[in-house]
Amino acid sequence: MGIRKQPFGYQVKMGEIVLHAQEAKLVEYIFQQYLSGASFNILVAQLREQPIPYDEGKLWNKNMVARILEDRRYTGESDYPAIIDQKTLSRVLEKRSAKQAPTQKTETQKLLRRLSGHTATEQMEQQVRNLLNGLIASPEHITLPTPEHLPYTPEQMLQKELDAVMEQQPIDEDAAQNLILAIAAAQYSAIDPNQYETIRLRRLFSRHELMAELDDELLQSSVSAILCYKDGTIDIRLKNHQIIGRSETV
Q: Where are the domains of the chain?
A: 10-100, 107-244
pLDDT of 32 reads 96
Q: Rounded distance, CA 21 to CA 152, Å? A: 99
**Integer angstrom CA distances of residue 35 from 40, 58, 120, 151, 213:** 11, 25, 31, 79, 34
Q: Rounded distance, CA 97 to CA 171, Å? A: 85
Cis peptide before 170 (omega within 30 of 0): yes
The single-letter DSSP state of residue 229 is -
| pTM for the whole structure | 0.46
**Integer angstrom CA distances of residue 120 from 117, 140, 230:** 9, 29, 15
CB atoms within 10 A of CB 120: 20
> In which element (H, E) is residue 127 found?
helix 122-137
* pLDDT for 103 beyond 90: no
**Integer angstrom CA distances of residue 206 from 134, 199, 248:** 11, 11, 20
* pLDDT for 6 beyond 70: yes
Phi, psi of 98, deg, nearest 5: -65, -40
Highest mean pLDDT among 82-91, 140-149, 153-162: 82-91
Q: Which CATH superfamily is domain 10-100 in?
A: Putative Large Serine Recombinase; Chain B, Domain 2 (3.90.1750.20)
pLDDT of 181 reads 82
- Confidence tier at 155 by pLDDT (50, 70, 90): low
* pLDDT for 83 beyond 90: yes
Handedness of CA 53, 56, 57, 62 (dihedral sign): negative
pLDDT of 171 reads 77
